[in-house]
Chain A
Amino acid sequence: MTEAHVESALVPCLRGELAGDERQHVERHLAACASCRAAAADFQAILERLATAPPPVVEPDWVRYRAELRARLGTSGEKPRAWWLRPLPIGLAAAAAAAVILTLAATREGRGPNGDLAALDDDALAVGLDIIDNRAIVERLDLLEDLDVIRDLDRLADTREG
C-alpha cells in the first residue's frame, strides 16, 4: 500500500458516521487493505463486547446517593463539600490531610455560588501548573491535556451555551 491507512476513520466508519468523499475514500481503502479490514473487524467485536456489559464499576447505594444529593441541594447556597468530611482514601495521615483540605476549602470558597463552569479560577490553575512542573517526571502527561480540557470547556460554556 502506498496510501496511508485510514486508522482513526475506522470507528466513525463502523458507526456509519462518514459521508461523501470521506466515506468513499475509507470504503475504497478497506476494500484494498487487509490490515485495516482486520482492525475494523476487531474494533467491531470489541465495541460489541463492551456494549453488552456495563463497566465493572463500584456503584453507590442509590437511595443514600439521592438523600445526600437532596441534603447538598438544601444547603447549596453554601456549596458544602460533603466529601471532605467523609473518610479519605486509606493511607493518608489524617492530620496532614486536614491541613491540605483547609487550603482547598479556601480555594473553593472563592468560586462564588452561581455554579458557573467558567468559575474555575486561574490562580488555582496556576498553582496546579507549578506543581505539575515539579512532578513532570513521575506524573502522566495526560494531566496537561486535562488542563486544556478545562479551558476549552469554559470557553464552550461561555460562547455556545450562553
Chain B
Amino acid sequence: MEPSDEALCARVAAGEDAAFEQLVGRYQRRAYRLAWSILRDAEGARDVSQEAFIRLFQTAGGFAGRARFSTWFYRIVVNLSVDHRRKGRWWRQVFARGERSDGDGNALDEHPAPTVDPGDALERERALADVWAAAEALSPQQRAALLLQVQDDLPTKDIAAVLGCSEATARVHLHRALSALRRTLRKEPR
C-alpha cells in the first residue's frame, strides 16, 4: 500500500530524502498549477512551487498532522505565490512608468489561452478550453479556489484554510467564479 502524504511528511521530517522525492513526485504538477492559477506566469509558478518544496523540506517537522498534508502544503504555495505577486508588481510598476501605461496586463499577454481549432472533431475540446479561457478573467483567489475544487476535490472548508479566509468567504469566491463563468459562457454561442 502506498504511504499517505502525512506519513511521507513525517519521514521527511525525520530526514528521509526518498520520502521527500516521493512527495515532490506527487505534488509537483498540482503545486505548479496552483501557483500558476495565482500568478499566470510559467517562470513564477516554477520558482514559487520549487520554493514551496524547499520550505516543505525545511519545515516538515512543523506539520502537526491536524490538517491534511495537502491543505498545509498548499497554504505554503499560496503564501509564496502572494508574496511573489506582490514583489512582482513592485518591479513591474517601476518599468511600467517607462514602458507602458497599461499596468498589470503582462501575465495574460505572455500566456494567452491556447487558440482552438474550429474543426468539428475538436468541438468537445473547444468547449473545455472555453471554460478555462473564461477562468482567465477571474481574480487569483477565485481561480485558486476553483482549481483546488476541481483538481484536488478539496472541501470548501479546506479551500478556505488554504486561502487563509473564512469558509463563508471561500463560498463567495466559488460562487462568484462560477457565476462569472456562467455569464461568460452564455454570451459565447457555439
A149 touches B33 (CB 8 A): no
Main secondary structure of the interface of B (DSSP, over half): helix
Cα A65 to Cα B27 with chains together (Å)? 13
A142 touches B141 (CB 8 A): yes
Cα A55 to Cα B72 with chains together (Å)? 23
Chain A residue contacts of B10, Cβ below 8 A: none
Chain A residue contacts of B168, Cβ below 8 A: 8
Cα A116 to Cα B58 with chains together (Å)? 9
Q: Give A contacts to B, CB under 8 Å.
A: 7-12, 15, 17, 39, 42-43, 46-47, 49-60, 62, 65-66, 68-69, 72-73, 76, 81-83, 86, 89-93, 96-97, 100-101, 104, 114-117, 120, 127-128, 131, 135, 138-140, 142-143, 145-150, 152-154, 156-157, 160-162
Q: Give B contacts to A, CB under 8 Å.
A: 24, 28-29, 32-33, 36-37, 41-47, 50-51, 53-55, 57-59, 62-64, 66-67, 72, 75-76, 78-79, 82-83, 85-87, 89-91, 93-95, 98-100, 103-104, 106, 110-111, 113-114, 125, 127-129, 131-133, 135, 139-141, 146-147, 149-151, 155-157, 161, 163-165, 168, 171-172, 174-175, 178-179, 181-182, 185
